[in-house]
Structure 1
């Protein structure tokens, strides 16, 4: 069975499609159709701004059509996977539209990933083409990919954006110069898989999350309606467009809902304050550090961010005091907590306005568009606190790997989030913990097991247990409890160099290493990570008090 056949097999059945479309929650259209309509009706409308770059509806559609034709002439066909590891650049918009036009499956890859993660993802999804910058910040992406290519037999084309290609690579600008666009354009199939986005799992290997055109658009429309966003409103997007948040509200919201996006390549709170005030930005979505630093920058600048009506904060633990601080610092009661994941985007959409300010701070938001259950350890409903299971029209279609699908949902099709929580105030939800072995560092999900697996290859380490450690700015960071195999105890710097040499992203490097003679365990021998998290949290707290 080919990948195309596998993706077809996971599409929703006809009854599901009909039910959602008849009820109006699914649109039965794609962003390629949106882009074409906007190009005809408002071709000069600027929809995306990135630094000095302005991308209009007409230019986005025209360039995407040429890019799609260029990819067709290189042999790409509907169902093929196109990966991209790009910063928040307007080229990502053009690429996304082009892939939809040609029926290709887009695979965004976060820019922090290095050799190990990048190779695994490209192999797993069988990417036929990859778009990269020549270099970005301190990373030479072209050299990195050049070294990986011998191990990637499916990768036929590497296209360099804003730079000079290496031998055997192509230029984005050359593809945009395609003149022969008279190709057999495929019919648009909104129920088809449109995206594979990888998320860190508890197994140590990333999981490929599959979304359709319908599921992605529904999540965006739900936000648009609930938050009271208007057509032509400006949205600031500092989150990477390779995350579900940045991809949805940075790239696609202008097409689906007519908003306009300001893309930030790199988060800078002072610059964000200026952009919000200068452009009358209405909304943004970001992780906890973004909100904390925006409050500080606004206070420094003497601004109350008068235009900002929506700041959806999630992706990591959000202290209630932070939401309250934002809602007294800014002119509007605009900040609120939200909850979701790549598999089930925006399960909760927050509480807006003065009347619900306490709920905005004290809960993780109001459940919108999803059915939610709280179950006990045996999967029974009615638990006061338990695992959160969700089902709805924005829910992913499944994982790319059949192995990853095992146990991901219950027999009724509810997705097991791995988060622990409880209902409050009617449709309110509060997250109280997590079952999944993840570290959420500044909104990035890191797999503890992935880091442990690499540490266990070091001869000086007999056993390692990696847990989340509290961090003032990022919420959490990485701590490793290590049982040494001998008398040598490599320090943090040594282990960082080792992990770097193994090709892991630097965000996964431990910031603290604690050497122990044994680890706390259950009667069956399982490591009690809850006790390790408690131990390191108490250590961090006492260290802060001493300081």
Structure 2
């Protein structure tokens, strides 16, 4: 296979009746998947889509979203997946910023020009574009600092990343991915769809995630792996104790998007008997840069080893690489690094310097070469001249058995500049007070690192990808 756009045809030719894709209402064999892609490509072509155009798709997770990806790629066009949960204003912003000429979604949604149900009505055969390394995806960042930026990923980025994922996870034709992350994010696309399909396996797209029904779905679907964010593992651990669920089909679970406390990983593995492989990466790096090994030592509290095929290093503020064990900014180099930010040459130049992608994360390599993330540079708290990393304080809070989730932010202080405030969600059925948690922190941390306030809350605010929204937490903490 010369190009990822040829995958549906290659699979249909090799094993027409084998399973490819499924969701809550549709099951597609390889031949049916190929036919759907061909029909959608002809409809897109009739709508005016040509090589180098951009197609936007505003849909929840369903097989049609994957069909659109391959149909657009067959024509040489790129796709920008839009979070359907955004406001109409934000949806229009992404459509206009990406330059999408055709927008696929449910009729009546903002900006939609082509109804998703029309994709199955073929307009006749259409010639495929020459298989070249066109732009493949425009993935929009979470937009924690202003409007989201469009990350430009080429087919060469996807090919490199999928090769790395397949190798690192040991994926083959026996693998069956259960997709629970959103397909407007690169993790869902690369780890749970493209990689298993390229390896000869298959994907089942779950509907709306339900912690209480998750393992019932696992028992029914029998996937071999799934990828999730820490919030999902926290919800699964918080489920009431009951009958031991059947998770025997799962050989591993993947965790990314945000650092996961070692305590949470241990609680999940002890309860469900499924090993968690924690990794790290950015949309700008096409998904992943490090991963704990599937076969080998997994080190909870680290995000694993650099993936073969890319370089991961630690850099000081002057741009010099530092020695192992020394903290600094995590930088990444390799064929997975993005082409740049759409329409933002200055921000691209500031982020990718001499081939190194500057992640904005602080970390260090331990003595075994595993990457340990300390925190985001922008989240660092400077308290009276002392540098505090929220993650260290959060990890101390997680060591209390009554803590389900913890997030620490800095808030302005007239004397010290900034001080730490902690937000905590208690474990189910646990009873805890802010005073008890403060005493726990005093026993675990130096005095200047102890939060000045601990706020108990029912749940954490989250961004569309599922990460805790610290911008909202800072706003809440300033009113303490």
* Distance change >3 Å, CA 540–CA 317, structure 1 → 2: farther
Q: Work out the CA distance in 1 between the residues paired with 2:145 and 2:455.
A: 33
* Pair 1:235–1:281, CA change in 2 (3 A): same
Give the 5 Å matches for 1:222-237.
222-237=164-179
**Aligned pair partner of 1:372 in 312, 329, 350:** 312
Q: Contact 2:423/2:456 (CA < 8 Å) preserved in 1?
A: no
Residue 201 to residue 279, structure 1, CA distance change in 2 (3 Å): closer
Secondary structure at the residue paired with 2:281?
coil
Cα distance change of structure 1 residues 95 and 429 upon mapping to structure 2, 3 Å threshold: same
**In structure 1, the residue corresponding to 2:352 is in which secondary structure?**
coil
**Residues 349-360 of structure 1 aligned to structure 2 (within 5 Å):** 349-352=291-294, 356-357=297-298, 359=299
What's 2:95 paired with? Answer: 122
Which of 249, 254, 269 pairs up with 2:191? 249
2:352 maps to which residue?
409
Equivalent residue in structure 2 for 1:541, among 426, 437, 454 = 454
User: Secondary structure in 2 aligned to 1:301?
Assistant: coil
**How far off its partner does 1:262 sit?**
1.6
1:268 aligned to which of 188, 210, 226? 210
Q: 1:178 aligns with which of 110, 115, 122?
A: 122
Matched with 2:27 is 54
Shift of 1:536: 6.3
State the Cα RMSD in Å: 2.9
| Mapping of residues 335-350 of structure 1, within 5 Å | 335-344=276-285, 345-350=287-292
The gaps in structure 1 that reach 5 residues or longer are: 1-27, 135-141, 150-156, 162-171, 439-466, 482-517, 523-527
1:53-100 CA deviation, whole Å, 9 max, x = no partner?
102211111121121112112222111110112111111111111001
1:73 aligns with 2:16: no
Alignment check: 8 A CA contact 1:273 1:298 kept: no
Superposed displacement of residue 480, structure 1: 11
Residue 445 of structure 2 is matched in structure 1 by: none
**1:238-317 equivalent positions in 2, closer than 5 A:** 238-297=180-239, 299-303=241-245, 305-317=247-259
C-alpha offsets along residues 295-321 of structure 1, whole Å, 9 cap, x if unaligned?
444953312622222111121231101
Q: Is the 8 A contact 1:241 1:250 kept in 2?
A: no
4+ residue stretches of structure 1 with deviation over 6 A? Answer: 467-474
**Shift of the alpha carbon at 1:521?**
9.2
- Give the match for residue 514 of structure 1: none
Question: Which of 72, 75, 78 is the matching residue for 1:105?
Answer: 78
Tell me how far apart the structure 1 counterparts of residues 283 and 252 of structure 2 sit (CA, whole Å).
21
Structure with bigger helix share is: 1
Return the TM-score normalized by structure 1.
Answer: 0.69
Alignment of 1:96 onto 2:96: no
CA distance in 1, matches of 2:358, 2:406: 24
Structure 1 position 398 matched with structure 2 position 340: yes
The gaps in structure 2 that reach 5 residues or longer are: 381-389, 425-450, 458-480
Q: Is the 8 A contact 1:323 1:336 kept in 2?
A: no
- The secondary structure found in structure 2 opposite 1:377 is coil
Cα shift readout 1:160-183 (whole Å, capped 9, x = no counterpart): 33xxxxxxxxxx33x4222422x3
1:31 aligns with 2:4: yes
Q: Alpha-carbon deviations, 1:235-274, whole Å to 9, x = none? A: 1111011111111233323431122112112111232212
How much does 1:293 deviate? 2.6
Q: Within 2, Cα distance between the matches of 1:295 and 1:315? A: 18
Q: 8 Å contact 1:304–1:329 — kept in the other structure? A: no
Question: Could you say if the C-alpha distance between residues 535 and 260 of structure 1 is closer, same or farther in structure 2, counting changes exceeding 3 Å?
Answer: closer
- Secondary structure of the structure 1 residue equivalent to 2:140: strand
**CA–CA distance in structure 1, aligned partners of residues 163 and 192 of structure 2:** 14
Cα distance in structure 1, aligned partners of 2:404 and 2:29: 36
Residues 130 and 159 of structure 1 are in contact (CA less than 8 Å); yes or no, is this contact kept in structure 2?
yes
Number of positions where the alignment pairs a residue of Structure 1 with one of Structure 2: 409
2:452 and 2:237 map into 1 onto residues whose CA distance is 28
SS of equivalent to 1:422: strand
The CA deviation string for residues 90-131 of structure 1, in whole angstroms up to 9 with x for no partner, is 111111110010011100112222123212211111110111
* TM superposition shift of 1:326: 2.1
Post-superposition Cα deviations, 1:326-380, rounded to whole Å, max 9, x if no partner, equal: 2222334x11321101011211111335x624x1x12111111221121112222
The 1:108/1:296 distance shift into structure 2, 3 A limit, reads: same
TM-score (norm 2): 0.78
1:414-463 deviation line (CA, Å, top 9, x unaligned): 0000000000133310100112469xxxxxxxxxxxxxxxxxxxxxxxxx
Q: 2:16, 2:47 → 1: CA distance?
A: 29
